[in-house]
Amino acid sequence: MGKIAHDQHLPAIAGNADIELAATVSRSGESVNGLPFFRNVEELAASDVTVDAVALCTPPQVRHAIAMFCIEQGWHVFMEKPPGATLAEVAALDEAAKAKGVSLFASWHSRYADGVEPARAWLADRTVTAATITWREDVRVWHPGQDWIWEPGGFGVFDPGINALSIATRILPKPFFVETAELDVPSNRAAPIAARVAFRDTAGTAIDIDLDFRQEGPQHWDIEVRTDAGTLLLSKGGSVLTIDGKEALSHDGDLHGEYPGLYARFAEIVRAGESDVDVSPLRLVADAFLRGRHVTVEPFVE
């Protein structure tokens, strides 16, 4: 029950008629709206509270064991992004969910930004000639005091960067892969504070990403795609769509529609008896770490 749970998950659950909040679990904190509150999922399972599904909003490093326990209880599992600290543990959860007959949802909230599906449709019948992704934000503003993000498995600047990749893997017509990567790692941290990655798609088109956690002033969450029939720009994390300099769609609300969209999708896959576990954004991040040259930079002190 951290910041994202309070800011996004609780309002989205409250606005979805298919889902009722039954209880909350956290190592610290207190009850929400007087509902049952537990320190861990084991306490929840041992209680008399009836649970059909859980939403896990923990850091990725500790999520696998919690998710596996929940699957064993026969609960459907919604996982915040990124779905795990490694690809192998997500694959293990996927197999366990299939064996138990429950739904597993690896959520990517940025894919539900207002401009993403219109951008995907516009690009579908065009030839991409180049793409540039700029994702620069101030870690002190968006992740204050979150030391886990700097630990192994915490992703560093790839925690927001994977949001950009979740959009890019959705809207770009062809798969793409890492060619080179350069990761700036503070001398007192284990995860990168900035990164530059060069991708190439299966048609040979260059796709570049620039990530930086040190951005002050205006924040940048932009994806520009140049094609044989014009230029598309997704800005503000996917909420504003511009084509050839003309605004085609805009919404200024913070994460407008993203988490309601996620919970609608979760209810949909539970009803259908399916899972939705796309690891393509996580795979690209893992490959960036595999291919990346680490550059030691000045210490980061919050």
d(CA 236, CA 253) in angstroms, rounded, equals 10
Distance, C-alpha 72 to centroid of its chain: 25
Nearest to 275 by CA among 93, 49, 65: 93
What are the tokens at 137?
A: 């934000």
Catalytic residue among 81, 98, 100, 174: 81
Long-range interactions of 44-50: CB distance < 8 A, separation 24+: 45/69, 45/73, 47/23, 49/22, 49/23, 50/22
Say whether 3 is catalytic: no
C-alpha angle with apex 270: 35 to 19, nearest 5 degrees?
30
**How many CA atoms lie less than 13 Å away from 169 in the CB half-sphere?**
19
Task: Check whether the bond before 118 is cis (ω within 30° of 0).
Answer: no
Positions annotated as catalytic residues are: 81
